[in-house]
Amino acid sequence: RCPVEYRLTSSDQPWQCQISLRHKSPENNQHVCGEEELFGTLISDKSNLEEMIYRAQLAVLNPDLPTKSFETSDIKSLRTGEKPSQAGSPTELGFSDDVISLDISGPELPNLCIVDLPGADAAYDFKSRDEVNTVEDITVHHMSGNAIILLALNMRNQFNHQRAPRLARQVDPDGLRTIGVLTHPDCIQDGEEDGWLKIMKGSDHTLKRRPSRPIPSYTSLTARIDGYFMTRHSSSTEKAKFLEITAPWIHETELLSRMGIPNLVKELSNILGGSIRHLVPSLRSAAQRALESTVQSLTSLPPAPAGTPAVELSGMVRAFCAEVEELVKGNDGHESLLQLCRTAHRKLRRGILSTTPNFRPFKDASRDTKKAKFYVEQDDVLQQSCETSAIYLEDLPSNVPLSVTTDLIKRCTIDWDKHCLECFDAIHAATLTKVHGLARSHFGRYSSTSLLADVLLLCDELVEKFRLKTLELIKFQLKLEESPFTMNDAYFSACKDKYLVQYKAAQKVRLSHLLNQPSGPSPDNDRVREAIAMLAKQGFYITEEGLSKACGKEHQYDEELAVMAETSAYFRVAYKRVINNIPRVVDYGFMRATAEDLYDTLVRGLYLGSNKAVEHATAYLSEDAQVKAERKRHVQKKEQLGAALKEIFRLEV
């Protein structure tokens, strides 16, 4: 009423047997490899085996009861279908797909695995369709793969009425792995002998391997122990005698070599040997792939806890801190954070440039050509999207005091703190995200303890500490910019001269525009005379020579133009200073400072420097029960596959 697995092993030690139960996993409804529950003690007396198998079957068919209760309960006085008196379980199962495994070793035993399945027709004695489905599912499951199917057919029933052949065809449609064994020839109904002879001779229901010899039985109960089909009350001599004296078998001399248990054993040995030789290459490849997959699964699991948890945790902390330092420095393979920082730096640069003073060297907006652009370096081109308001000559006082220049500079730098803080906020968020990611990769596998949560909390506290310090440093840097100062006189003077030349050139272009002629040393004579005539009508008398001098002379707003040039030049000096100093303050005051202080912070916070370091480390590194169970399964599977590969190699040799 359940599968019984006989694992036979040749040994020079006395005969012994250990029974185990293999239950289906509740998670995936599959029999987990290696997960077996021992049932009873080691059996050394063959006479006790049948009773222990019966006890094991009762345990399998009553899953609601403790397995141990069936090892010692009184079952000899039980009637059919009755359970032990102490069992108060619901109705006993009709069939079960849990497996009873018998590990049998001893001399003169082959190295072989045989699975005895419930009869495919037995379930039809039950009324429940679920029982029928259970038996058919059990049969199909165990016949799948590359196992040799020994199809026992009861000659008492007609072939077409037996369901086992139909199930065998599902998994072996060509009959390459199926061997038919006919039993109970003494129970054949009158007139059905010819039908069975056709099957034996291969003219009906043909298999690639024809049905083997009939095995007579004098009782309907057969015991299948140690891999042989035996009757409980008949000897091999009596069976052979039955075949020799009973018609129609006595007349089928060509079939005599295929009749009887000895001939069955001999042919099975030949078939099994040939199948093994044929399957060895594919078995080796399959076992190798399974072993590689198992090793890969083991590798993906967290390593087993070390014997010295404090040392192990200290090493993990050191490795984590080393990788954070690599990240902060942007070493090979750890450039992601610095790439995010550079993006923030470029945004800071654009933001500071957007505050460039928008000086227009014209009297007022009505005289602004709108086309003139003023810059001393290529990045000044970004001023085309300048966010500051235009400042014209008439906006400046006629006698410009020093305070006006200072005020103009302050007006340009008033929004610098906003751009600097936006830059720092972006770097702070990126750093925190990257540190959290590294923490999860180093400590996340210990999800059943508070290790990761404590590490993240300590990191957050440390990052916040240096964030506040860096904010103060940034504010200090910006406060220094409130009072204009520079020792970079050469650069300041060069920028001032360039701006002044461009401002004055723009004014000349404007004066030429008033005269309706392009600027240049040789204006058209007709246009010049026309301009002189227009001025004369207004009461201004001037010669052609005087007009030419007026087009090329310095404008009356020299002092205002000088203020514009000085302010623009100083902005260049301060701008370059800020876009270099702020990123360096953030780099050294925040990122590198955090990385340098991280190890000591974690050692203190995780108590690795205290006299209770081992106790705390043991608690932090305690393994999750599910991971532990998964590792155990993989280790057992790895050992089994390794042993199987050794056996396969031995067979090949």
**pLDDT class for 221, splitting at 50, 70, 90?**
very low
**pLDDT class for 581, splitting at 50, 70, 90?**
very high
**pLDDT class for 108, splitting at 50, 70, 90?**
confident
Residue 99 is given by DSSP the state: E
Spatial separation of the C-alpha atoms in residues 35 and 224, rounded to whole Å? 25
Spatial separation of the C-alpha atoms in residues 168 and 182, rounded to whole Å? 15
Q: pLDDT tens-digit profile of 163-214?
A: 777 777 877 777 777 777 777 777 777 777 777 777 776 666 665 554 444 4
Spatial separation of the C-alpha atoms in residues 385 and 356, rounded to whole Å? 10
Q: Which helix (H) or strand (E) holds 395?
A: none
Does 21 have pLDDT greater than 80? Answer: yes
Higher pLDDT, 28 or 635: 635
% of the chain beyond a pLDDT of 70: 70
**pLDDT class for 224, splitting at 50, 70, 90?**
very low
**pLDDT class for 371, splitting at 50, 70, 90?**
low
Spatial separation of the C-alpha atoms in residues 67 and 84, rounded to whole Å? 12
- CB within 8 A of 213, min separation 6: which ones? 181, 182, 255, 258, 259, 260, 263, 264
Strand pairing category for 16-22 and 99-106: antiparallel
Spatial separation of the C-alpha atoms in residues 256 and 294, rounded to whole Å? 49
Lowest mean pLDDT across 115-129, 249-263, 306-320: 115-129
Q: Are 154 and 186 in contact (CB under 8 A)?
A: no
Lowest mean pLDDT across 110-119, 150-159, 318-327: 150-159
Domain boundaries, the chain: 1-82+92-116, 321-378+385-514+550-597
What are all long-range contacts of 391-398, with beta carbons under 8 Å and residues at least 24 apart? Answer: 391/357, 391/358, 391/359, 391/360, 391/564, 392/360, 392/362, 392/363, 392/364, 392/365, 392/368, 393/361, 393/362, 393/363, 393/364, 393/557, 393/560, 393/561, 394/363, 394/364, 396/560, 396/563, 396/564, 398/559
- CB within 8 A of 177, min separation 6: which ones? 146, 147, 148, 149, 275
Q: pLDDT tens-digit profile of 46-55?
A: 888 888 888 8
Q: pLDDT tens-digit profile of 277-335?
A: 777 788 788 888 999 999 998 888 877 776 788 998 999 999 999 999 999 999 988 99
| Per-residue pLDDT at 431 | 96
| Per-residue pLDDT at 516 | 44
Lowest mean pLDDT across 109-118, 138-147, 292-301: 138-147
| Per-residue pLDDT at 536 | 58
| Per-residue pLDDT at 194 | 74
Closest CA to 174 of 218, 208, 137: 208
Kindly report the average pLDDT of the chain as a whole number: 77
Average pLDDT for 516-529: 51
Tell me which architecture the domain covering 321-378+385-514+550-597 has in CATH.
Up-down Bundle (1.20)
Q: Are 182 and 213 in contact (CB under 8 A)?
A: yes
